[in-house]
Amino acid sequence: MEETFLVRVDVMLRQEINDPQGLAIANGLRELGYPEVSKVRAGKRIDLELDADSAESAISKADSMANELLANLVIEDYFITII
């Protein structure tokens, strides 16, 4: 019997890829008086509500979605969690 799962896919640029958005955020935070910020990496979070037989099946479906559309595997990594 299928259940509905809330699955979160966090997509981040790989560490070796320059992150101009993260750099801009870090610079902005320093200008606002937060000198303790040394590095920022920006990414995207995608929450999916989907039907599956089990948590493992929901993760597998989300993994396929991330591979096919949600992440650019050349420059991004992704992490999947059940919420």
pLDDT in tens, 38-71: 999 999 999 999 999 999 999 999 999 999 999 9
Confidence grade of residue 1 (pLDDT, cut at 50, 70, 90): confident
The arrangement of strands across the sheet holding 3-13 comes to 43-52, 3-13, 76-82
For the whole model, what pTM was predicted?
0.89
Give all domains of the chain, ordered by start, each with its CATH number: 3-82 (3.30.1280.10)
Which of 20, 11, 16 is closest to 40 using CA atoms? 20
Average pLDDT score over residue span 4-31: 98
Average pLDDT score over residue span 23-49: 98
What pLDDT, on a 0 to 100 scale, did the predictor assign at position 26?
98
